[in-house]
Amino acid sequence: MDLLDGIATTRAIRRYRPDPVPEDDLAAILWHATRAPSGSNRQPARFLVLRDGPAATEAKAILARAFRDGWGAKRTDHGFDRGSGADPASPKARASRAMQQFVDNFERTPVVVLACIRRWRAPHISEGGSVYPACQNLLLAARALGYGGVLSMWHGFVEGELRACLGIPEDVVIAATVTLGVPEGRHGPVRRLPLRDVVYDDRWGADAAWAVDPPDTRFTGAGPAREARPAT
Amino acid sequence: MDLLDGIATTRAIRRYRPDPVPEDDLAAILWHATRAPSGSNRQPARFLVLRDGPAATEAKAILARAFRDGWGAKRTDHGFDRGSGADPASPKARASRAMQQFVDNFERTPVVVLACIRRWRAPHISEGGSVYPACQNLLLAARALGYGGVLSMWHGFVEGELRACLGIPEDVVIAATVTLGVPEGRHGPVRRLPLRDVVYDDRWGADAAWAVDPPDTRFTGAGPAREARPAT
């Protein structure tokens, strides 16, 4: 797969076939993840792979609860069942159904990777620069090998339990939960804001007239009043 | 370029030819950057592109000072001139020279992108998950189009001045400074820790015997006593 095509078409995948991910594919995915940069090449990121081992099975059950709670709260807060969401054929209702089946089946997610980081100084946004680039590489490499997944932060609801279950030390931050599996069914295109809404030239807020989207780009709406979209 | 090859070979590039980056390449790089995921697809990331406009010229001069100070401090703190660094042929001395020329020439960096994020809640590591994946996509797309760059956090030394110069609002966090240009000269391979040092299976710290590096992988040393390596 072409590098630019891969970047352009890697989207959140939340429905998986039951097929496991072979260990050599898993190794390749993680190897590519770890080619990402980190501050001073310090490499503080660690990847805890949960498959069907004893701790993993327990951890997936803990996470499943968190994901169900997380989605339940979001479904209400973001009004997924209101407005256009009342129409089962709407994008909002489809997104809602996709999320519901994702959390309902969480325990059967073939692979869950906890992307962690050893904290080496006081919390600061920049520490994310030493782990999230690797998460993106992970998702791109997964796509190259026929897998898909999604980055989520819902582990936050059960962090204490999860740490105890998996023996995660106190100086380690869980930066993301990444699910992985062979995609099941059809998935829509990547949808984003128009490029000119997010790129500025020379000064904050200054229009970048050259920041033109390719002709077949698919867009999301903008602003807080927009319709809810599939969550990442 | 192949997706996996691109991921495997994208490394920090700090020496650039003077060639500018044409606007259509810049648009393509940023479009691919913005295909990255963000929490709830909220898309809080913004990309401020600094080329040779009036504010950009001033901002680059401010950043150049920060980068020189940052590298100066690191050079001392990390002992780049001590130990093996005393030998001009050592990897440490080469890394040191590469960094010195990078900061000495900072004003001539063809493009500097400030990757920013609109803060929508209290600071938390997870907000980085909505901007750093895009930074990684940016570097990968740049590589696909023949450019290279590096993610840096040294803007932190001059953040107040930079914000004033560029009109960056208070609720916006500068997450990274990304430099871009056509690579000059030769650059070594990506070097990382052995995969088994950073991947765990089932429980924290548990060996993942299957996490095998491909035969031609290049490694860094490990632990605080390791030799200094090119910084990212």
Q: Which tens digits make up the pLDDT trace of A79-92?
A: 998 998 999 998 88
pLDDT on residue A107: 98
Averaged pLDDT score across all residues of chain B? 93
- Does the pLDDT at position B51 exceed 60? yes
Q: What is the pLDDT of residues B116-144, one digit of tens each?
A: 999 988 899 999 999 999 999 999 999 99
Q: How far apart are CA A146 and CA A153, in angstroms?
A: 24
Q: What are phi and psi of B41, to 5 degrees?
A: 55, 35
Q: Mark whether B155 and B215 lie in a shared domain.
A: no
The beta-carbon neighbor of A210 closest among B23, B43, B176 is B23
Q: What value does the mean pLDDT take over residues A184-194?
A: 93
- More confident of the two residues A150 and B222: A150
Quick one: pLDDT band at residue B225, thresholds 50, 70, 90? Answer: very low
pLDDT on residue B151: 97
Q: List, in order, residues 6 or more apart from B117 with CB less than 8 Å away.
A: A125, B44, B45, B46, B127, B130, B131, B172, B173, B175
Q: Which segment of B18-27, B116-125, B154-163 scores lowest on mean pLDDT?
A: B116-125
Q: How far apart are CA B231 and CA B224, in angstroms?
A: 14
What distance lies between CA B117 and its chain's CA centroid?
17
Number of domains present in the structure of chain A: 2
* Token output for A86: 């009342």
Q: Mark whether A196 and A131 lie in a shared domain.
A: no
Q: Mark whether A129 and A143 lie in a shared domain.
A: yes
Q: What value does the mean pLDDT take over residues A160-187?
A: 97
Q: How far apart are CA B22 and CA B96, in angstroms?
A: 30
- Does the pLDDT at position B167 exceed 70? yes
Q: CB neighbours (10 Å) of residue A87?
A: 10
- The SS3 of residue A77 is helix
Residue type, B108: R
- Does the pLDDT at position A164 exceed 50? yes
Residue to substitute from A34, A171, A177, A212, interface B, most B β-carbons within 10 A: A34
- Is residue B74 one of the residues assigned to a domain? yes
Domain that holds residue B85: 3-188
Q: How far apart are CA B124 and CA A125, in angstroms?
A: 7
- Is residue B59 one of the residues assigned to a domain? yes
pLDDT on residue A92: 87
pLDDT on residue A187: 87
pLDDT on residue B186: 87
Edge-to-edge, what's the strand order for the sheet holding A172-181? Answer: A148-152, A172-181, A111-118, A45-50, B199-201
Quick one: pLDDT band at residue B224, thresholds 50, 70, 90? Answer: very low
Instruction: Identify the closest residue of chain A to B6 by CA–CA distance.
Output: A3
- Does the pLDDT at position A59 exceed 90? yes
Residue reference for tokens 């760059």? B149
Instruction: Identify the closest residue of chain A to B4 by CA–CA distance.
Output: A141
Q: Mark whether A202 and A108 lie in a shared domain.
A: no
- Is residue A197 one of the residues assigned to a domain? yes
Tell me the Ramachandran region of residue B13: left when phi exceeds 0, alpha when psi lies from -120 to 50, beta otherwise. beta
Q: State the CATH number of the domain containing residue B156.
A: 3.40.109.10
- Is residue B230 one of the residues assigned to a domain? no
- Does the pLDDT at position B31 exceed 70? yes
Q: List, in order, residues 6 or more apart from A51 with CB less than 8 Å away.
A: A20, A21, A110, A111, B201, B202
What is the DSSP secondary structure assignment for residue A146, as one 8-state letter?
A: T
- Is residue A228 one of the residues assigned to a domain? no
The nearest CA of chain B is from the CA of A231 a distance in Å of 4
- Is residue A19 one of the residues assigned to a domain? yes
pLDDT on residue A223: 40
pLDDT on residue A225: 34
Q: Which segment of A216-225, B2-11, B67-76, B117-126 scores lowest on mean pLDDT?
A: A216-225
Quick one: pLDDT band at residue B221, thresholds 50, 70, 90? Answer: low
Q: Mark whether A171 and A81 lie in a shared domain.
A: yes
Sign of CA dihedral A203, A205, A210, A214: positive
Provide, as residue numbers in chain A, all residues whose Cβ is less than 8 Å from the Cβ of B78: 40
Q: What is the pLDDT of residues A127-152, one digit of tens each?
A: 999 999 999 999 999 999 999 999 99
The beta-carbon neighbor of A229 closest among B41, B135, B172 is B41
Q: Mark whether B123 and B154 lie in a shared domain.
A: yes
CB contact under 8 A, A35 and B4: no
The beta-carbon neighbor of A153 closest among B39, B199, B210 is B39
Residue reference for tokens 């001139």? B81
Instruction: Identify the closest residue of chain A to B140 by CA–CA distance.
Output: A3
Q: What value does the mean pLDDT take over residues A97-116?
A: 97
pLDDT on residue A221: 64
Sign of CA dihedral A221, A227, A229, A231: positive
pLDDT on residue B153: 97
The beta-carbon neighbor of B173 closest among A38, A125, A133 is A125
- Does the pLDDT at position A158 exceed 90? yes
Residues in chain A: 232
Q: How far apart are CA A113 and CA B9, in angstroms?
A: 23
Q: What value does the mean pLDDT take over residues A10-34?
A: 97
Q: Mark whether B34 and B64 lie in a shared domain.
A: yes
* Token output for A102: 């994702």
For residues A116 and A168, is the Cβ–Cβ distance under 8 A? yes
pLDDT on residue A190: 96
For residues A47 and A115, is the Cβ–Cβ distance under 8 A? yes
Q: Mark whether B116 and B207 lie in a shared domain.
A: no
Q: What is the pLDDT of residues A40-54, one digit of tens each?
A: 999 999 999 999 999
Q: Mark whether A147 and A209 lie in a shared domain.
A: no
Q: Mark whether B116 and B18 lie in a shared domain.
A: yes
Q: How far apart are CA A175 and CA A99, in angstroms?
A: 21
C-alpha separations of B126 from A3, A165, A166 in Å: 26, 22, 20
Q: List, in order, residues 6 or more apart from A213 with CB less than 8 Å away.
A: A194, A195, A219, B31
- Is residue A73 one of the residues assigned to a domain? yes
> Reduced to 3 DSSP states, what percent helix, strand and coil does chain B have, rounded to the nearest 5?
45, 15, 40
- Does the pLDDT at position B231 exceed 90? no
Averaged pLDDT score across all residues of chain A? 93
Q: Mark whether B17 and B49 lie in a shared domain.
A: yes
Buried-exposed string A119-157: b where 16+ CB fall within 10 A, e elsewhere: beeeeebbbbbbbbbbbbbbbbbbbbbebbbbbbbbbeb
**Percent of chain A surpassing pLDDT 70:** 95
Residue reference for tokens 């599996």? A181
Q: Mark whether B164 and B69 lie in a shared domain.
A: yes
- Is residue A232 one of the residues assigned to a domain? no
Q: How far apart are CA B118 and CA B124, in angstroms?
A: 13
* Interface predicted TM-score (ipTM) of this complex, two decimals: 0.94
pLDDT on residue A192: 97
